[in-house]
Amino acid sequence: MEFEVTVLGCNSAIPAHGRNQTSQLLKIGNSYLLLDCGEGTQIQLRKFKLRFSKIDFILISHLHGDHYLGLMGLISSFQLHKRTRLLTIFGPVGLDEILTVQLKHSNTKLNFPLRFVVTDPETPKLILEESNFKVFSFPLKHRIPCTGFRVEEKIRFRSLVKEKLQEKKIPVEAINCLRNGKDYTGENGNVVYSLREYTHPPKTPRAYSYCSDTCFDPEIVPYIKHSNLLYHEATFGNDYEDRARETFHSTAAQAGKIAKSASVGRLLIGHYSTRYLDLSSLLQEAKEEFPKTYLSEEGITYSID
């Protein structure tokens, strides 16, 4: 199953140096999720030839403009393209009011159903479950209520040991039972075909964790533990650590420390301050704490494996 994320915007509050405000498109199987929607998001979707019509879920971390001001424009484009499919938006209290006011005063009546789900900035929760993935929200510490998101695949079927299938003819119902993670038992209740003997150990579900805006906060580690890929904001370098603390943001080095503590596979940093035209210093500072660190770059797709 494909599991990948494409960066649409990687800058902080102001677009500059050819970089745009925060947004990412996550693809898992045939499902598309938009993580935040900064100004210009739909332009980026078109620029990189991404099929935004397939987006069914939008997750907004908080109500700072660089994370949601592109949302109304995207909704308007869905309307103009005659969308009829349900769109579900997850976001903080107040976002539904903002959208309602804009729709009201533009006298817009949507062609498609829009469902709004309020996120909880205080408690980690399972907010979405589909056949092949789950999404959890968790609290981030920022100047206003803010949530991070963890998208985790669901392993639906176990793979069978081919050698065992070749040794004997196994009934279809037994194969289905084994693939679904259950021993196959006979009428007397005894195990006829065991998971241990006839299937390979289940794969560890892959996970992507997204930490949009947050101060350095080790308390988030349990929520992002063992993610294959972690995105963590790195607004400043060590030269502006005091500024990061004042604004409830993180430095690149702090992002690296979080990645190390959470034992993640790889770290993707972003949300760069306009102070930095050259991002190499941020990358180097993060790598000193966590070597498997990469800069998020717009238009680049990162595999989650």
CB 40 within 8 A of CB 15: yes
| Residue 125, φ and ψ in degrees, nearest 5 | -145, 150
Query: DSSP 3-state helix, strand, coil percentages of the chain (rounded to 5)?
Result: 30, 30, 40
Q: Which two tokens stand for residue 19?
A: 């970089």
Phi/psi of residue 104, each to 5°? Answer: -65, -50
Reduced to 3 states (helix: H, G, I; strand: E, B; else coil), residue 56 is strand
**Orientation of helix 252-261 relative to helix 280-289, angle to 10°:** 30
As annotated, the active-site residues are 66
What are the structure tokens assigned to 175, written together?
């194969």
Rounded CA-CA distance 142/152 in Å is 24
Q: Which residue has the tokens 């949507």?
A: 110
DSSP string over 237-268: -GGGHHHHHHHT--BHHHHHHHHHHTT-SEEE
State how far the Cα of 90 lies from the Cα of 275, in Å rounded to an integer. Answer: 31
